[in-house]
Amino acid sequence: MPSSSCKIVVLISGNGSNLQALIDRSEHYAYRVAGVVSNNPAAFGLQRAAKAGLPAAIIEHRDFPDRETFDGALIEAIGAFAPDLIVLAGFMRILGPDFVEQHAGRILNIHPSLLPKYTGMHTHRRVLEAGEREHGVSIHFVNEDLDGGPIVARSRIAVREEDTEQSLKERVHLLEHEMYPQVTDWYAAGRLRLRADGVYLDEKKLPATGMEIPAPPGVR
């Protein structure tokens, strides 16, 4: 049984399905969810946190006059949990440069596309409109560029002829829920690190597109 000595704090804005996946897998992996932070007081993920007995902080961005004061409050709220790793799970605010610099190499994000393609929003719709044959999920370290940080891992699925935006979204979510706990565990176990020259897993430098994780049977 893992020691769960690595404390993570999860940042959410909405449903929190990836938060739930992280919670559900935590007893089998080397991380422990120490707390949850949300910028949205109505986020359903806060109910998930409460059900799991996790402490949560709400830092609503609309309560602050500018980005700098919001970032300051966010840093303070996260710091109260003393995390080893910050995990963004559907957190719909762009983090400021001071925040990112302060936590460099200790922030992970998950994005529903095969980065570097389709940064930003509405990825499933854009993939369908472009006639892509593949879609998927990427996990990356966060830097100052939107969805542009060094890629840790990707997992891909085929775009089916009958796919809709909703069906793609559902299958991509299944990938996310498998991948995010696994990659978080890599960091927690000391296997994954960001260095000046790139991302390393088990002391081996990963390619720019990260580690390819096969999609589970039935999801592809």
Cα–Cα dist 86/126, whole Å? 29
Q: Which residue is associated with the tokens 């610099």?
A: 101
SS3 192: strand
8 DSSP β-pair partners: 33, 85
How many C-beta atoms surround the C-beta of residue 82 within 10 A?
10
200 residue type, one letter: Y
Output DSSP code: residue 26.
Answer: G
How many C-beta atoms surround the C-beta of residue 22 within 10 A?
24
Using alpha carbons only, how large is the chain's radius of gyration in Å? Answer: 17
How does strand 31-38 pair with strand 6-12? Answer: parallel
In the set 28, 61, 103, 111, the catalytic residue is 111
- State the number of CA atoms in the 13 A half-sphere of 182 facing the CB: 18
Q: Which residues contact 43 (CB under 8 A, 6 or more apart)?
A: 12, 13, 14, 15, 16
111 flagged as catalytic: yes
Cα–Cα dist 29/122, whole Å? 31
Active-site residue set: 111
